[in-house]
Amino acid sequence: MGAGGSAWKRAQEARQYERELREQLRAAQWEVRNWEAASEGERQVAAKLQVLTRRGWRLLLDRRWPGTRAANVDMLLVGPGGVFVIDVKNWRHAPGTAGGHLTAGGRTHDGEIGKLLRMTRTAENAVTGLNLSPVAVQPLMVFAGRSVNAALGTVRLLGEREVTPALVAERTRLRPADVRAVADHLERAFPAYESTAVPSRPAPARAPAPDAPDDVLFDAEGIRNAALEAARSAPIEQWMTFLHPEQLALVRRNWSGPARVSGPAGTGKTVVALHRAAYLAARTPGRILYVTYANNLPRVQGTFLRTMAPAVADRVDFSSLHAWAGQFLRDRGIASRLDPGKTENAFSWAWKSHGRGTILETLDPVPGYWQEEIDYVIKGRGITTFEEYASLRRWRRRTNLRRPHREAVWALYEGYERNRIGTGVHDFNDILALALDEALAHPGATPYTSVVADEVQDLTFVGVRLLHALVGDADNGLLLVGDGQQAVYPGGFRLSDAGIDVRGRGQVLRTNYRNAKEILDAALAVVADDSFDDIDGTPTAGRRDVDLAYGDGRVTRFTAPTRAEHDAALLAALRELGPVAWPDTAVLCRTGTERERYRRLLTRAGIPAITLEQYDGRPVPGVKLGSYHRAKGLEFKHVHLPDHDAPAAAGQGDGTDDGVARERRELHRSQLFVAMTRARDTLWLGTVSRPQGG
């Protein structure tokens, strides 16, 4: 059939579909005719929604509002798109929204919005027992006889014409069995009024009123388009709707100050953090700031939140901490000049004059270690005097620095600072320090009522203090989410040193939902002997107890005598997975240089690849390629770690102190652990068998 023929066929199908919808509407009008408690307008709205019952939705009409003496809830609608608590308005005047208020006939009706939100809370509480996340329960006001499409906070305002297409277009949150379970549950929690004689289950489709007028407020074409659109957008994952009871309790908990959620890799910390952000956004008038250290993660997490809770997504700001601090300074009119190239030069010059040939070289001749000492230990912890540094406990630094070493480090630090200030530039630590000063000087300068920090183990002391300064010890203000075992940068600090008290407000998650057992065992074997202290001061063993929720998986180890053979095996493994699996596949490398190398290899082999810097959480048809650092917080069905046990380039050469070398190895093991735990189903570990010392 030619293009014209198939277009004709599609038009025929569309007309047929619309005819069926109109027949369904007529049958629905017949079904709701006995709803005595309702006005004609409400009956018309109910008929429109009753049409959805042919598409897997359940409509509960005129229910008692539990906890009140005699109040009712007009409708509860449960379907693939979630739970909707519906208030129908049959107003004489057209509704409007002005300045954040619901208006009609020159009056405001904010009380109606408040009432609907309270009903929604009751429904949210009712479904907690089913572990349904609050993001799946939404308030909806429908205006009989009107055409409206607006929102006030989390409340959607739809006209009789718009409501059915809008609900058909909702993304899939509940499977058919879930719809049944949730609707049955709500039916019991919100009992029917006796007067309501409307069947709550779909009645057989029939058209008993053939002469029913064609309804101009029924948008059959809109419903057809919405159904097509909903089919195109892939169903979102189940976990976005159902949480473990422990996770749900954390999402809904009322914390009387800063709080901490920790737990081993894959235990759903980010899931809790995202649902918590959505929950808070629905309840507070202020904005929510969601930050991480890595700058690719906020994009991905923002995409997830928009998918699961579109009504609140515009009130949550996702950003990396450094990008946010830079913007904050600009907004406050504070000059800063971030210039990584020039600050690198400032350090090189300082090393030449204050590092090379000094006592520091006896511990590690590689300047990188000492640059980290300045970045993470001195500036990252906001140390400004030698006396503070002289007695500082250097968390996660394994080498012992005696006073002469510390004096030498301090001279290097001062040299660096002189050079940097001389060229008029700032490093990343300066940006955070400037932002902290500004936040402390002007409390309340930002619109945030809550701040959620994910992967908090990689933020510096100054960074965490900055976030704390934004919300202080306010109830539900600061939530720190992360896992000390997954720290991929040197140094560390204790929350108590930063004046952040999370005692009694800490929770550890224990069920791993991501990794197959074989994969988690292989990853834990890498860090089994590396006990660590978390930022809240809890000493933790490297091999941790976790409950596993996920099924079978496979770890493949491949050793080749040469790099060429190793790379050929990697390509063969990727080809074996095939193009369908590539979007769920990642190749992760230790360094950015290695990543570039593998990017060229994949390109030459004709395997499409995108870097994690380009990835924003939406599906793309290619293998993801990135460094271990960039992969943090993400997950893939298939993970490949080429040359994963190559000796680390720096810090293991001749003349390196044992403590420094040990610290390096520990850090590399943490990074490898993070990379390995990104894998859900299969993990490929490549090795090039180098000659000893090579």
Ligand X SMILES: Nc1ncnc2c1ncn2[C@@H]1O[C@H](COP(=O)(O)OP(=O)(O)OP(=O)(O)O)[C@@H](O)[C@H]1O
269 marked ligand binding residue: yes
User: Least distance (Å) from ligand X to the CB of residue 270?
Assistant: 3
Question: Following CA atoms 161, 166, 168, 173 in sequence, which dihedral angle do they give, to the nearest 10 degrees?
Answer: -150
- Nearest Cα to Cα of residue 87 among 3, 156, 176, 26: 156
User: Least distance (Å) from ligand X to the CB of residue 170?
Assistant: 20
265 marked ligand binding residue: yes
User: Least distance (Å) from ligand X to the CB of residue 482?
Assistant: 7
**Token duo for residue 242:** 């159902």
Question: Following CA atoms 574, 579, 583, 586 in sequence, which dihedral angle do they give, to the nearest 10 degrees?
Answer: 10
DSSP 8-state symbol, 134: G
User: Least distance (Å) from ligand X to the CB of residue 509?
Assistant: 7
Residues 253-312 that bind ligand X (CB under 6 A): 263, 265-271
* Identity at 591, one-letter amino acid code: T
User: Least distance (Å) from ligand X to the CB of residue 492?
Assistant: 17
Residues 6+ apart with CB under 8 A from 233: 171
Angle at 375 between CA 372 and CA 376, to 5 degrees: 80
Determine, following the binding rule CB under 6 A, whether residue 244 of this chain makes contact with ligand X: yes
267 marked ligand binding residue: yes
Report whether 535 contacts 456 (CB < 8 A): yes
Determine, following the binding rule CB under 6 A, whether residue 534 of this chain makes contact with ligand X: no
User: Least distance (Å) from ligand X to the CB of residue 638?
Assistant: 14
Determine, following the binding rule CB under 6 A, whether residue 243 of this chain makes contact with ligand X: yes
Q: Which residue's CB is nearer to ligand X, number 429 or number 486?
A: 486
| Ramachandran region, residue 33 (left: φ > 0; alpha: ψ -120 to 50; beta: rest) | alpha
Question: Following CA atoms 278, 279, 283, 284 in sequence, which dihedral angle do they give, to the nearest 10 degrees?
Answer: -50
Q: Which residue's CB is nearer to ligand X, number 158 or number 487?
A: 487
Q: Measured on CA atoms in the order 343, 460, 475, 121, is the torsion positive or negative?
A: positive
Determine, following the binding rule CB under 6 A, whether residue 237 of this chain makes contact with ligand X: yes
Report whether 99 contacts 92 (CB < 8 A): no
H or E segment to which residue 13 belongs? helix 3-31
Using CB under 6 A, which of 239, 349, 386, 558 touches ligand X? 239
User: Least distance (Å) from ligand X to the CB of residue 265?
Assistant: 3
Q: Which residue's CB is nearer to ligand X, number 21 or number 297?
A: 297
CA distance 369 to 357: 15
Q: Which residue's CB is nearer to ligand X, number 357 or number 619?
A: 619
Determine, following the binding rule CB under 6 A, whether residue 673 of this chain makes contact with ligand X: no
User: How many H-runs (helices) and E-runs (strands) does the chain carry?
Assistant: 22, 25
Residues 314-333 that bind ligand X (CB under 6 A): none
What character string, x for contact with ligand X (CB under 6 A) and - otherwise, covers 473-512?
Answer: ----------x--x--------------------------
Q: Which residue's CB is nearer to ligand X, number 60 or number 243?
A: 243
Q: How many residues bind ligand X (CB under 6 A)?
A: 20
User: Least distance (Å) from ligand X to the CB of residue 325?
Assistant: 23
Q: Are strands 95-98 and 101-104 parallel, antiparallel or unpaired?
A: antiparallel
Report whether 270 contacts 240 (CB < 8 A): no
**Token duo for residue 366:** 């590689």
H or E segment to which residue 119 belongs? helix 110-128
Residues 628-657 that bind ligand X (CB under 6 A): 633, 635
Name the segment binding ligand X (CB under 6 A); options: 11-19, 84-92, 237-245, 488-496: 237-245
* Identity at 36, one-letter amino acid code: E
Determine, following the binding rule CB under 6 A, whether residue 677 of this chain makes contact with ligand X: yes
- Backbone phi and psi for residue 639, each to the nearest 5 degrees, phi listed first: -125, 135
Q: Which residue's CB is nearer to ligand X, number 196 or number 267?
A: 267
In 392-547, which ranges are continuous DSSP H helix?
A: 403-423, 428-441, 461-471, 517-527
82 marked ligand binding residue: no
Q: Which residue's CB is nearer to ligand X, number 510 or number 597?
A: 510
263 marked ligand binding residue: yes
Determine, following the binding rule CB under 6 A, whether residue 513 of this chain makes contact with ligand X: yes
What character string, x for contact with ligand X (CB under 6 A) and - otherwise, covers 514-533?
Answer: x-------------------
Q: Site residues (CB under 6 A) for ligand X?
A: 237, 239, 243-244, 247, 263, 265-271, 483, 486, 513-514, 633, 635, 677
Binding site per annotation, positions: 263-270
Report the binding-site residues for ATP. Answer: 263-270
